[in-house]
Amino acid sequence: MKDSTIQIEIAAKDEALKETLIAQLASIGFEAFEEMPDTLKAFIPSNQYNKIQLLSVLGELSFQELEIEKQNWNELWESNFEPVQVENFVGIRASFHESFKEVEHEIIITPKMSFGTGHHATTYLVMQAMRNLVLENKTVFDFGTGTGILAILAEKLGAQQILAIDNDDWCIENASENIEINHCQKIQISKADTASNEKRFDIILANINKHIILANIAFLDLALQNGGTILLSGLLVEDEADILKACESVGWIHQLTNTRNGWIVCQFKGK
């Protein structure tokens, strides 16, 4: 379980520098970022934090380090969290925010140290791509569910059955709470370390990171119905070549890649 999170606040005003730092920090395990006018905040589970790696990325840049205990995470999050809107498609807010006025779907999220609030470019990209999929009466596999936000959206889009898995106890607890808050009835939550599964699904969502996706490509392929759709994210622009090569090796057909702030989502059609 993630007992605490490390917050790194870096002095950085330049937007291009922030984008570069986000890409580099993500490659060493940082999972969430918050861009402020003069600083960049980056978050990583304390059990994954390696200060030597951080210093190799930041060089001479000044930063402040703060350890956030579980019980303090909500207070910190609530003080910084702003609602997120993906076009006029989805609005993501906390329970203490007012409802959105003009969105097709609304999701209420309380992350509690699980990442996936819609603020990160990859979550935004996957949700944007889901808008163009037909999920009505489909089965969906959400690999690396985090807060459960993508599984919740899948149910709102008409999926008949969703399996959402994560390898972290805190994520399982948090996703379960968010599923209940959003009155979802068709999502099964399960803890698992890999995508190995006996079921097959029409649509697979994997918003996680390149190394885990590559390690699980064979499992994901076995879990995909013939001709099914796959959305892969948690990926940097420079990850695309390796992802395309791996997906081609299992016979998936690349349909699109969309980009946002140096991050990508790739869509494939199964064989």
Report pLDDT digits (tens) over 26-50: 889 887 777 778 899 888 888 889 9
> Which of the four pLDDT bands, split at 50, 70 and 90, describes residue 178?
very high
- Residues 6+ away with beta carbon under 8 Å from 206: 143, 144, 195, 213, 216, 220, 230, 231, 232, 233, 234
Does 137 lie in the same domain as 72?
no
Residue where a domain terminates, one of 14, 46, 76: 76
Length, in residues, of the chain: 271
Strand 39-45 to 4-11 pairing = antiparallel
Pair 67, 136 in one domain:
no
Whether residues 258 and 181 fall in one domain: yes
Question: 178 in a domain, yes or no?
Answer: yes
Residue 113 confidence (pLDDT) above 70: no
User: Which range, of 58-72, 119-133, 150-164, 212-226, averages the lowest pLDDT?
Assistant: 58-72
In a domain, 9, yes or no: yes
The domain spanning residue 25 has which CATH number?
3.30.70.260
How far from the centroid of its chain's Cα atoms is residue 62's Cα?
28
Could you tell me if 38 and 151 lie in one domain? no
Q: Is residue 151 domain-shared with residue 29, that is, in the same domain?
A: no
Torsion of CA 183, 83, 72, 235, to 10 degrees: 90
Taking all residues of the chain, what is their mean pLDDT, rounded to a whole number?
A: 90
Tell me if 34 sits within 8 A of 7, measured CB to CB. Answer: no
Position 228 confidence tier, pLDDT thresholds 50, 70, 90: very high
Q: Of 267, 236, 235, 233, which Cα lies nearest the Cα of 252?
A: 267
In a domain? residue 84: no
Nearest to 147, CA basis, from 50, 77, 210, 96 = 77
Q: Does one domain contain both 133 and 257?
A: yes
Could you list the residue range(s) of the whole structural domain that residue 158 is in? 124-269
User: Residue 36: what pLDDT?
Assistant: 79
Q: How confident is the model at residue 1 (pLDDT cuts 50, 70, 90)?
A: very low
Q: What pLDDT does residue 114 have? A: 58
Taking alpha carbons only, the member of 146, 131, 172 closest to residue 265 is 131
Is 258 in the same domain as 168? yes
Q: What local confidence, expressed as pLDDT, does residue 30 receive?
A: 85
Q: Are residues 159 and 49 in the same domain?
A: no
pTM above 0.85, yes or no: no
Answer yes or no: do 174 and 70 share one domain: no
Among 76, 104, 133, the domain-final residue is 76
Q: What total number of domains does the chain contain?
A: 2
Residues 25 and 131 in one domain: no
CATH code where residue 237 lies? 3.40.50.150
Q: Give per-residue pLDDT as tens, 120-171.
A: 788 999 999 999 999 999 999 999 998 899 999 999 999 999 999 998 887 8
Q: Is the pLDDT of residue 118 over 70?
A: no
What percent of the chain has pLDDT above 70? 92
Exposure letters 154-168 (e unless 16+ CB within 10 A, then b): bbbbebebbbbbbeb
User: What is the rounded distance in angstroms from the CA atom of residue 193 to the CA atom of residue 212?
Assistant: 10
Residues 128 and 72 in one domain: no
Residue 42 inside a domain? The answer is yes
In a domain, residue 139? The reply is: yes
